[in-house]
């Protein structure tokens, strides 16, 4: 089995990055092994301001006294977005939402960003609260145009509106492409849901006409048969994505299998353990499967009745013991458990129950956990993000809006405007002079 690397963020990160945070990861390999240093990062093509210095190698032998340069960079043991190249034979997975149906500051609902060394990026689920995690990664929104929904619970697509409208406003200059399953009836399918989401956003989108680049305010929806077994739903740029049925709440949920460059990534969504996952997820490099909170904690923390806790925690969702059993069948290079609140007083019970049925490589995920996957290694770290991010630059030249499409105020509302022309004119004069324009106030 390929070696699994672990790297834990030291406390000095707080001193190095004021206002930047990450959460303590939980990743346990089958056997403990020595912690490895990361290779030195390379500057990006745009000349990133990060130092490209090689890490100080003095004292790298554990048997010698450590001596580090006071001025040279050392290898990071955390992931800083937009500072590392992704190798042509490498995958990177970032957890943008790992929690339960009720999002909280520490954990958004289900969302996973998969980045491939060929430049492709895929979002699997975009649950409530996850759009801000995506924004923190500082990825141009033109690259974030492919979303795959496992099912239509809001904790799996509740932030699609934020990614759709916010992404267009922040630089996505193309339609947002969304793939999702059909339902047992048409109104339970992805197309119905997103058609009505688009209608719900009518006021929002109409109010932006003639003011911003219009190209991103479109949804391109592909609905596929939820009953397809290992059926291809996406095949572009030597990437193949297949689906298998999942068992959760109603007919309709699915799991996704991504194959690229000899790698296999599986995202289970929400599902009771099933024969399709057991068969088609075998040998995955990285396999995500839900693992709900332990039943006693559901009763204690969520105040479920014992009857409801048993039904929801073991039948609608996958209990930790059952998660472990699934992973013992498919034997991935790395198993990833999600869909629980990872707290100091809940994590041990989940881990202990998993270990009654599975003893392989395991990550107990939390938001901003990062996996770098190569043929030889799987490196697990936490991302350290800046909470004061602004949208990254667009990858293409912005298109000027057609002001003739702007919807005017009614006479009654327009008549309520105060006269601000005198106080605003200096701003118009300065901008017109700086950019060679001739803009006038309304």
Q: Which CATH class is domain 3-29+73-386?
A: alpha beta
Nearest-angstrom CA–CA distance, 100 and 169: 29
- Tell me which of 324 and 19 has the higher pLDDT: 324
**Local confidence band at 67 (pLDDT 50, 70, 90 cut-offs):** confident
Measured between its terminal Cα atoms, the distance across the chain in Å is 68
**Local confidence band at 35 (pLDDT 50, 70, 90 cut-offs):** very low
pLDDT attached to residue 68: 84
Q: Which two tokens stand for residue 166?
A: 């916010």
Check pLDDT > 70 for residue 258. Answer: yes
The alpha-carbon radius of gyration of the chain (Å, integer) is: 24
Check pLDDT > 60 for residue 26. Answer: no
Nearest-angstrom CA–CA distance, 141 and 138: 9
The domain segmentation of the chain, as residue ranges, is 3-29+73-386
Average pLDDT across the chain, whole number: 88
Longest dimension (CA), the chain: 81
pTM (predicted TM-score): 0.86
Q: Which residues, 6 or more positions from 411, have their beta carbon under 8 angstroms from its beta carbon?
A: none
């Amino acid at each position: 089995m390929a070696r699994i690397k672990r790297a834990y963020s030291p406390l000095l990160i707080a001193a190095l990055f004021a206002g930047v945070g990450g959460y303590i990861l939980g990743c346990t390999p089958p056997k403990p092994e020595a912690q490895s240093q990361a290779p030195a990062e390379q500057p990006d093509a745009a000349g990133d301001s990060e130092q490209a210095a090689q890490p100080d190698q003095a004292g790298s032998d554990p048997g010698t006294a450590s001596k580090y340069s006071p001025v040279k960079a050392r290898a990071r043991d955390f992931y800083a977005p937009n500072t590392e190249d992704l190798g042509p034979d490498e995958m990177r997975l970032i957890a943008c939402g790992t929690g339960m149906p009720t999002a909280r500051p520490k954990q958004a609902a289900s969302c996973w960003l998969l980045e491939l060394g060929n430049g492709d990026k895929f979002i699997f689920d975009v649950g409530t609260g996850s759009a801000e995690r995506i924004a923190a990664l500082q990825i141009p929104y033109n690259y974030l145009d492919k979303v795959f929904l496992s099912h239509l619970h809001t904790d799996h697509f509740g932030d699609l509106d934020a990614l759709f409208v916010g992404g267009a406003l922040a630089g996505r200059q193309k339609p947002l492409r969304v793939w999702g399953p059909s339902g047992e009836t048409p109104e339970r399918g992805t197309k119905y849901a997103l058609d009505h989401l688009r209608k719900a956003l009518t006021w929002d989108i109409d109010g932006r006409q003639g003011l911003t680049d219009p190209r991103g305010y479109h949804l391109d929806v592909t609905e596929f048969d939820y009953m397809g077994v290992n059926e291809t739903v996406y095949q572009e740029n030597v990437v193949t994505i297949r689906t298998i049925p999942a068992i959760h709440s109603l007919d309709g949920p699915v799991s996704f299998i991504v194959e690229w460059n000899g790698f296999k990534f599986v995202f289970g969504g929400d599902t009771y353990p099933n024969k399709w996952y057991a068969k088609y997820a075998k040998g995955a490099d990285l396999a995500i499967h839900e693992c709900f909170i332990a039943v006693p904690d559901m009763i204690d923390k969520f105040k479920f009745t014992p009857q409801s806790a048993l039904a929801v925690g073991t039948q609608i969702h996958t209990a930790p013991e059952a998660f472990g059993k699934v992973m013992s069948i498919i034997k991935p290079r790395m198993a990833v458990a999600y869909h629980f609140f990872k707290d100091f007083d809940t994590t041990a019970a989940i881990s202990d129950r998993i270990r009654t049925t599975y003893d392989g490589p395991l990550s107990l995920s939390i938001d901003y956990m990062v996996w770098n996957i190569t043929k030889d290694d799987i490196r697990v770290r936490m991302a350290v993000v800046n909470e004061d991010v602004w949208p990254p630059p667009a990858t293409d030249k912005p298109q000027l809006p057609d002001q003739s499409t702007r919807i005017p105020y009614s006479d009654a509302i327009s008549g309520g405007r105060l006269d601000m022309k005198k106080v605003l004119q200096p701003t118009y004069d300065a901008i017109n002079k700086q950019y060679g324009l001739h803009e006038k106030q309304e």
